[in-house]
Structure 1
């Protein structure tokens, strides 16, 4: 259904109850808020993305009209939107980032219309389509940030877990607080430098592989000079994955026999190749950007376990405080990953917490054993 289509008519076979009216008023408030969210996001974008977001905002008006029609005079009573939508609009107004799109995607995917008999079937279908539209917009943002974001998330998580494990393992042996502190600082510096150097080499190598794998335009310049009776141009296209028929058609096109009518997905126009190259490199990220993100985020994660020791704590209280601080940080980083991936932030956060504290617990137990043996 297009944004300009009239709303599907829906009549009740019963008199609405007070609960019905309250629920419809809440739906109406949420639909108005969703339209405002998309308009706020559109204000921070231009071009095609702005047009898509404004189209979503216009589509939400159909749902508003449905609930307004059912409510009648009760539509004049204004209710506050849900807390999620209030927060989303605030974030959209001031940030407009991929985080907001990821939250909006989850909001569209959790629509109650599929199980509410007072919503039309087309409204439930609309919400599914809106989720896919927002998912598509979110994917663009994820691709633009995925390279450096991957390095940042991995860096922070590794810093949290590895340095907590190091601090707990050393602390469990019974050494002084100053030894634990300097061990933690050494672990921070060594890990951050290692992570930064590793990310630089990894991303640079990946970009070099992509560049080496990118088809060249040699067929365009060499085609006029080819020996037509021993044409190896077909072999070039077959090596790139074309069938025999597609390769022969493409070779004939390059030799100027006719315009190619073969599979368009194998098009090698320079404009298309340039777009694909940009997309590949956006997903990979820059080598210096990935290295810098990895270094900084590893350091920011690794400093948390040693904070209690920096403030003069020692012994079991320092270990407990360090574990709590790292646990909170793991929940936050896991939740952020969940938001960006469109999954449940709570599940991702708890998974991150379980993995991180599990690894730290193993090293703590080993530290106790070594400490006991030394004693």
Structure 2
């Protein structure tokens, strides 16, 4: 191997520091989990340790004093130690997809492949966390966003019509209460309906008990699997295997499927009500503290803009997408809706 240049050494030392920091992130996350997830995270940390050893071998005597990991990786480490949440996994997923090793001559093909697979492993773990959050958290995030957009549009529309500040304030508070109640009731009905549909699709307990008494030759259990979407041949194979191992864990129960968590009706309704109200109160705050006219409108728009950027960032992090892009999209949608409503208010009321 040719003698590495000073740029190579500097780059490799940075890789070494990042691999060490990433291994620490996975170990910290593993410390907050149990069972299979813990084992997977420790295996990822071990893989990052192998990559660290590779760069140590390449550097040899040039390894020097340990460097700190990149700001991004150190930030992940702080979050992993403090929270250990799905947000960290979502950020780690994005970090793994941006592996710098593809154009790197010093990295092996195995290391490049490792990084690509790590992204999928972390994506799977992050998906588990997203599924656990999907019910009440979904209601909370979208409730807050709806409150921000709808009440800002309402307040700006009424203000554009030229009415007094008192009317704007009363209208904003009425919109807050009406919207929160509507969101809460709608979320309750939605979640309850979804849970009832899922429960109706679950196998009946008496059918599981009947498996032990089925005629092996007729093998009607295959019909169950065909009804669930298997091909006739696959259904026959699966059913035959089940009937040959009736003493094992109930296969029908195992085949029932793992439904995505949808939360509870009451929990989703409360989350939606509270977060809609917390979002809807922001456009009203300037009027509550006595601001008037254009000043109140500008302050309301700025406060809502900051909040929309926040909710967009959260959605981006959880979805594994670019948080800045998601935040700007939320801002554009919110301001667009509010701007249209304000112009309609001006047209109807003759301007302020």
Common topology (TM > 0.5): yes
Residue 309 of structure 1 deviates from its aligned partner by 1.1
Alpha-carbon distance in 1 for matches of 2:209, 2:4: 74
Decide whether aligned partners of structure 1 residues 87 and 242 sit closer, same or farther in structure 2, where only a CA change above 3 A counts: closer
Unmatched 5+ stretches in structure 2: none
* Contact 1:102-1:342 at 8 Å conserved across structures: yes
2:274 aligned partner: 296
> 1:199 aligns to what?
187
1:127 to 1:231, Cα distance in 2 relative to 1, 3 A: closer
**Cα pair distance change 1:22/1:269, threshold 3 Å:** same
Aligned pair partner of 2:289 in 311, 318, 325: 311
DSSP-derived class of the 1:114 partner: coil
Partner of 1:77: 65
CA contact (8 A) 1:25 1:77 kept: no
Question: Are 2:148 and 2:304, in contact at CA under 8 Å, matched by a contact in 1?
Answer: yes
Structure 2 counterparts to residues 204-223 of structure 1, below 5 A:
204-222=192-210
Matching of residue 325 in structure 1 with residue 303 in structure 2: yes
Partners of 1:22 and 1:252 in 2: how far apart?
61
Stretches of structure 1 lacking an aligned partner (at least 5 in a row): 1-10, 261-266
TM-score in terms of structure 2 length: 0.91
Whole-angstrom distance in 2 between the partners of 1:185 and 1:272 = 50
Residues 242, 60 of structure 1: alpha-carbon distance in 2 compared, 3 angstrom cutoff:
closer
Q: CA deviation at 1:283?
A: 2.2
CA deviation vs aligned residue, 1:333-354 (integer Å, no higher than 9, x gap):
1111111111100111111111
* Residues 124-156 of structure 1 deviation map (CA, whole Å, 9 limit, x = unaligned): 111111111111111111111111121111101
Question: Partner of 2:167 in structure 1?
Answer: 179
Over 3 Å counting, the alpha-carbon distance change for 1:326 and 1:27 in structure 2 is same
- 1-structure distance, mates of 2:224, 2:27: 49
User: How far does the alpha carbon of each residue in 1:25-56 deviate from its partner, in whole angstroms, 9 at most, with x for none?
Assistant: 21111111101101111111111111111111
1:159-178 matches, within 5 Å, as 159-178=147-166
Matched, 1:366 2:348: no
Indicate the SS of the match to 1:320. helix
Kept after mapping to 2: 8 A contact 1:219/1:233 = no
RMSD value, Cα: 2.6
Residue 228 of structure 1 and its aligned partner are, at CA, apart by 10
Q: Distance in 1 between matches of 2:317 and 2:131?
A: 15
